[in-house]
Amino acid sequence: MIIAYTLVSVVLVSLISFAGVLTLAVKKEFLYRILKLLVAVAAGALLGDALIHIIPEALQELENRMLTSLLILGGIILFYILEMFVRWHHCHIPAEDHVYKPVVPMNLIGDGAHNFIDGMLLAASYGVSIPIGIATTTAVLLHEIPQEIGDFGILISGGLSVKKALIFNFLSGVTAIIGAVVVLAVGSYSETFNLIVLSVAGGGFIYIAGTDLIPELHAGKCNKRRSVANLVAIIAGIFVMALLALME
């Protein structure tokens, strides 16, 4: 059952890589507004999943608060290191005056590493409990949609054709399956391993939301109506995670 849930989730994450085609079907101004809201929802979902599902579960199951806290902080540091050495930071919302640099290889490497860790996280979350896995899958999917749209734009601006951009973006998404298989293989022998991965991921979610997503919401021209809409979207993301917790 855990294997089936995990595989379905990582396949969905991989397929989200095709979301980039939306950039070809809608007007740039409309896409910009939608992406802002999607990023806001994703920020709320990641924070909600980390603080409502992942961290409370890890604190309860590991029974060592100091260790759990260190693992969460370790997750924040790990994601900071990844952002230093790999192109981890994704530009979800292209500004009108933004010109992408030719960073196609680094983008693919960063996205592949990102999806690999997403796969590990999904497998570990299902290894702890099905409800935690479903909540985490929801949060990851909400984050992946604007991210993959941004990545697709980078690949196109970097000189790839639409077909090649879709293929390479999908291949980088497939690494989520590899990450899931690794954790399924190791986690089947140790539930503690799943909890360790989950704790580290909780810190990673907080880092992504705080340093990647929310700053993008502040970028651009100040607009009170848009700011309020973003706030509502963040709360909506948190509400989704709270609702999933109530349904457990």
Quick one: CA torsion of 175, 176, 179, 181, rounded to 10 degrees?
-100
pLDDT in tens, 92-151: 554 444 444 445 777 777 788 888 999 999 999 999 999 999 999 999 999 888 888 877
Cα 78 to the center of its chain, rounded Å: 15
pLDDT in tens, 141-183: 998 888 888 777 777 777 778 888 888 888 888 899 999 999 9
Alpha helices in the chain (DSSP H): 2-15, 22-25, 28-48, 55-62, 65-85, 104-128, 130-157, 162-187, 191-208, 214-218, 224-246
- State both tokens at 18: 């095709």
pLDDT in tens, 39-91: 999 999 999 999 999 999 999 988 888 999 999 999 999 988 887 776 555 55
Task: Tell me the average pLDDT of the chain.
Answer: 84
Residue 113: the pLDDT is 84
Q: Could you tell me if 36 and 169 are in contact, meaning their C-beta atoms sit under 8 angstroms apart? A: no
Up-side HSE of residue 206: CA atoms within 13 Å toward CB? Answer: 19
Average pLDDT estimate for 214-228: 81
Cα separation, 204 vs 202, in Å, equals 5
Cβ atoms within 10 A of the Cβ of 174, count?
Answer: 18
Q: What is the pTM of this model?
A: 0.85
